[in-house]
Structure 1
Amino acid sequence: MWGGTIACVVLLAACGLATEDPQVPSTPPQDDLSSPSVTSTPTPSGTGPDSTSGPPATSEPSTTQPTSTTTGGTGPTTSTGAPDLEGFLPPGEQSVQDPTGQVDLVVSDVRVGAQPGFDRVVFDLAGTGTVGWRVEYTEEPAQDGSGAPVDLAGDYVLAVHIQGTGLPGAEETVYDPPQLLVPGTGLTEVTEVLRLTPFEGQLNAYIGVASEQPFRVSRLDGPERLVVDVAHG
Structure 2
Amino acid sequence: MTRSARRATVALVVVTVGGGVAACSDDPDPGPSPSPSVATSSAAPTASPTASATPGPSTSSPAATAIPTPAVPAGFALTDVMSPRFPDLGGDLGGVGIVRVGRHSGYDRVVWEFPGAGTPTYRVRYVDTPIADGSGDVVAVTGDAFLEVLITSVGIPDDGVARPADPTASALTGTVIAEANAIFGGFEGYGQSFIGVRDRERPFKVSALAGPTRLVVDIATG
TM bracket (short chain): 0.5 to 0.7
Deviation at 1:104, TM superposition (A): 4.2
Partner residue of 1:202 out of 180, 185, 190: 190
Give the alignment's Cα RMSD to 1 decimal: 2.3
* 3-state secondary structure, aligned to 1:129: coil
TM normalised by structure 1 equals 0.56
* 3-state secondary structure, aligned to 2:92: strand
Higher relative contact order (CA 8 A, sep 6+): 2
- Report the Cα distance in structure 1 between the residues aligned to 2:89 and 2:143, rounded to whole angstroms: 34
Superposition pairs of residues 68-217 of structure 1, within 5 angstroms: 85-89=73-77, 91=78, 93-97=79-83, 98=85, 102-171=91-160, 173-174=161-162, 176=163, 180-183=165-168, 185-197=172-184, 198-210=186-198, 211-217=200-206
Deviation at 1:100, TM superposition (A): 7.2
Larger radius of gyration: 2
Judging by fraction of residues, say which structure has more strand.
1
Deviation at 1:204, TM superposition (A): 0.6
- Report the Cα distance in structure 1 between the residues aligned to 2:114 and 2:91, rounded to whole angstroms: 14
Could you report, residue by residue, the CA deviation over 1:143-190 in whole angstroms, capped at 9, with x for unpaired residues? 23322211222110011101111112224x15x26xx53345223311
- Report the Cα distance in structure 2 between the residues aligned to 1:188 and 1:119, rounded to whole angstroms: 6
Deviation at 1:196, TM superposition (A): 4.6
Q: Number of matched residues? A: 145
- Report the Cα distance in structure 2 between the residues aligned to 1:149 and 1:101, rounded to whole angstroms: 27
